[in-house]
Structure 1
């Protein structure tokens, strides 16, 4: 009896220890709680997602044919994603991709095939279904050679082609069946192949994603992601510091970073790419159609003061209309701060007694304070800037309705000059056109050179055209380049991304199947 009882006690103790071990392991798999700096999402359709919060959510649900290595924004580190391998013709016009087998879509929508890839890129190049259509204008033909092979034929060589088929913007692959079945509702019920799948959206509250157990790289180590929409910086910070959130979009200011680094159990991540801040001058609005007025605005803005205001390490001064560090950037025609010249130009243009302008401005902490600095700088030369401050989604809507004389805008694109010149300075991308993207200045000065660069046979020739375009755009003062603003997020030390974070073109930390949370 005693021996039997002893054995039972040992077995019971062993089972108890096993249960404790099981509970400890399960405790690691929890839902990641994220605080986003927005009032709501706009769309979860990857071909329409342009707002920062939308792009972040999309990045956790979708894959491209290739991908930027998690934690990197370096084009030199592009690697296979849904494709296992690819080949290209000597002239760079024909690309053939071989797909992974047995890659499953979310929610029972079947297995990835070449037809899904063909459908996705035809959708990405269609202005009626995509905000990135202009990027794919050179895609002449997309065809399925067999269920696992896709061939893309280009009209002309495309600089940085792999960036267009990566897990970024229009490069994300969607389920053909889901998109056709759901129609317009696809933007609220997205179906991809990524590590997390869409679960639920509560208007102006949150979006919930759950781990996709059948993810082709393996089931995620966390249960899911709940992204809360908290536009107030102070409310987001309070929720993080009280333990309600594990990861938050931070304030991209030096003093905030310096403070956050001393919070308990907190890591601050500062990473690339910098979103390039530019002040676009709307030439479609009088008197901004007068080049002397535009030149006066450029001369009135002290970029060095703005960079100092934002803080070292967070902001990098720009010089060209092409962002800092992009292939093809040419700073030969940078503007310089000269308030006396600005006053003289305004007088020559007939505004010796001053000038009134209006701007729709986001209440976002990454925009409003900087626009207040610009407002004060313009006031010194006699330009009264009336700011209409609205929430961030309303700002995006109104600037795309041509309601603003000056548009302060920040964006990151694939780091070659063409991606920025085409979207922000080619007349095809001008606001109000069917092919509109983000040409808020209605600039057309560089059209011929931007187009010629797309057809250039060599890199040297392409660089020459890009340089010429930047010169003409600068001479016409379509905008005032300001600075690149790095990404800033704060996370609980219990959160491990599973990769080293140096960059993310999707502007949010990489949350993948490798991410763990050990709170």
Structure 2
């Protein structure tokens, strides 16, 4: 008894110490968020160049636009003010005036966001030497700062959706003029924005670190620290998530993986828009695809239905056109061919390839791309087309395909949901690789330039849609590209994490972190 009475106080003190010391640790854990990315490294965090899924996800936490998509939505009808608190347009929709919120602060003490930053950002977004999305802004005649909190945008002609070009997406992001000029090329990996989270550091190939922007105009974020771990291998992400090392993970578009995750206790699977349209872009300038019969053979050999079924109907559907199905102006029947292996072989023989042919393709090691390319490889082999894959890291792949090194490019993408954006970036000759306005026209397609251009200035909505639909028919007939599937975004998270909104969509292709994102008690 005496021994017990001597030992009890130290034990009591130890328990009290554990309780006292443990409480702050538990609290800290609830304000630190760790995510697992399907990427080996970051590429470019200048938002006007960010094109990979991982980079797009990050810049959306750092930067904002004049306006934004409501968190959790990709619906253009729900666009709301961001830096701009109000706006008005002239009757002819050619002059737009935006009133900015006073007092919005840049990260890291760069001061107040002003109209000068907006003018600088939009002029940069429209410059092909400083932006990958310049072609989207050709209709802008001028951007003027009328005073520190008023911006006037004047257009050469009406556009399908000016607000869409000014959202928190692609060229619409506003950057700090002072920070960009001071940091130069370093801005790409050390950016400054006014969003809820500020960039702190990057460990190449390991992680990207962020902290809460304490002066964020909507309020200090509930999450204080964010670590974005670079875990390119799906197995590595799964292990890290299962072990509790990360709270959120990019998913894998595989039905067996999905079923496994659904059964994991304490796990929520988020499936959300926009569905990325995967298209096989065919370079019409390179042999053997300068012969339309070879392009047609490729189209007949591909079986989109088989690929969609393999992926899982939970998040994958067969593509119906060369632009995404959620786009205004989508054509549900542009003339796509049905899979026909014998027809593919006949066309190859007519083109001078009775014994088939071999095609080399640089491919991404990102799991979703790797799976798609392997399925494509197996399908083409049935028609006598041997596809030799040369896998490279995803960021490197992005660089290489923009140098015309591939005769065919497997590319998945979602864009602002108005047909003009997708048609312009992927099928207008000005956007072809090597052109002054180079974007993502890997096919060097030019057959629908007239329709795409006329639709931009057409004021009759029905005639505008008809032009967009005609453009899709022309692109399909010329076999500039073969649409395959539409695949939604898939992520998993700890069920204690609350995004702070209903995640139905995210134009950044990953979960948007806001000031309301938090862990539930």
Task: State the TM-score, normalized to the length of structure 2.
Answer: 0.94
Q: How does 1:206-245 map to 2 (within 5 A)?
A: 206-245=207-246
Question: Per-residue deviation at 1:331?
Answer: 2.8
Matching of residue 430 in structure 1 with residue 435 in structure 2:
no
d(CA) in 2 for partners of 1:370, 1:24:
43
Question: Per-residue deviation at 1:107?
Answer: 0.8
Look up the match of 2:250: 249
Root-mean-square deviation over aligned CA pairs: 1.8
SS class of match (1:294): helix
- 1:335-382 deviations in Å (ceiling 9; x for gaps): 211111111111111111111111111121111112111111111111
Deviates more, 1:204-213 or 1:327-336: 327-336
Look up the match of 2:131: 130
Look up the match of 1:103: 104
d(CA) in 1 for partners of 2:218, 2:26:
20
**Number of aligned residues:** 504
- 1:452-489 deviations in Å (ceiling 9; x for gaps): 11111221221121122111111110010111110000
Look up the match of 1:258: 259
Aligned partners of 1:28 and 1:518 also within 8 Å: no
Q: How does 1:319-358 map to 2 (within 5 A)?
A: 319-332=320-333, 333-358=335-360
d(CA) in 1 for partners of 2:297, 2:473:
18
Question: Per-residue deviation at 1:28?
Answer: 6.3
Look up the match of 2:460: 458
d(CA) in 1 for partners of 2:390, 2:185:
32
Look up the match of 1:40: 41
d(CA) in 2 for partners of 1:20, 1:87:
55
d(CA) in 1 for partners of 2:439, 2:32:
36
Aligned partners of 1:96 and 1:149 also within 8 Å: yes
Aligned partners of 1:319 and 1:335 also within 8 Å: no
Look up the match of 1:515: 517
Deviates more, 1:353-362 or 1:32-41: 353-362
Question: Per-residue deviation at 1:20?
Answer: 9.4
d(CA) in 1 for partners of 2:512, 2:383:
45
Question: Per-residue deviation at 1:320?
Answer: 1.0
Look up the match of 1:158: 159
- 1:29-61 deviations in Å (ceiling 9; x for gaps): 522101101110011111111111111111111
Aligned partner of 2:365 among 351, 359, 363 = 363
Look up the match of 2:488: 486
d(CA) in 1 for partners of 2:332, 2:405:
30
d(CA) in 2 for partners of 1:516, 1:134:
38
Question: Per-residue deviation at 1:27?
Answer: 3.8
SS class of match (1:408): strand
Against the structure 1 CA distance between its residues 343 and 190, is the aligned structure 2 distance closer, same or farther, given a 3 Å change threshold? same
Aligned partner of 2:420 among 399, 414, 418 = 418
Aligned partners of 1:407 and 1:440 also within 8 Å: yes
Look up the match of 2:5: none
Q: How does 1:129-208 map to 2 (within 5 A)?
A: 129-208=130-209
- 1:193-217 deviations in Å (ceiling 9; x for gaps): 0111111111111110100111000
d(CA) in 2 for partners of 1:155, 1:43:
31
SS class of match (1:353): coil
Against the structure 1 CA distance between its residues 206 and 24, is the aligned structure 2 distance closer, same or farther, given a 3 Å change threshold? closer
Aligned partners of 1:296 and 1:341 also within 8 Å: yes
d(CA) in 2 for partners of 1:329, 1:515:
34
- 1:148-169 deviations in Å (ceiling 9; x for gaps): 1111111111112211101111
Return 5+ residue gaps in structure 2 as ranges.
1-16
Q: Spell out structure 1 runs of 4+ moving beyond 6 A.
A: 18-22
d(CA) in 2 for partners of 1:194, 1:309:
39
d(CA) in 1 for partners of 2:412, 2:91:
36
d(CA) in 1 for partners of 2:336, 2:253:
25
Matching of residue 501 in structure 1 with residue 503 in structure 2:
yes
d(CA) in 2 for partners of 1:30, 1:163:
33
Question: Per-residue deviation at 1:73?
Answer: 1.0
Question: Per-residue deviation at 1:25?
Answer: 8.8
Return 5+ residue gaps in structure 1 as ranges.
1-15
Question: Per-residue deviation at 1:434?
Answer: 2.6
Aligned partners of 1:29 and 1:223 also within 8 Å: no
SS class of match (2:59): helix
Task: State the TM-score, normalized to the length of structure 1.
Answer: 0.94
Look up the match of 2:411: 409
Q: How does 1:56-67 map to 2 (within 5 A)?
A: 56-67=57-68
Aligned partners of 1:28 and 1:222 also within 8 Å: no
Look up the match of 1:295: 296
Deviates more, 1:460-469 or 1:234-243: 460-469
Against the structure 1 CA distance between its residues 300 and 501, is the aligned structure 2 distance closer, same or farther, given a 3 Å change threshold? same
d(CA) in 1 for partners of 2:263, 2:22:
34
Look up the match of 2:281: 280
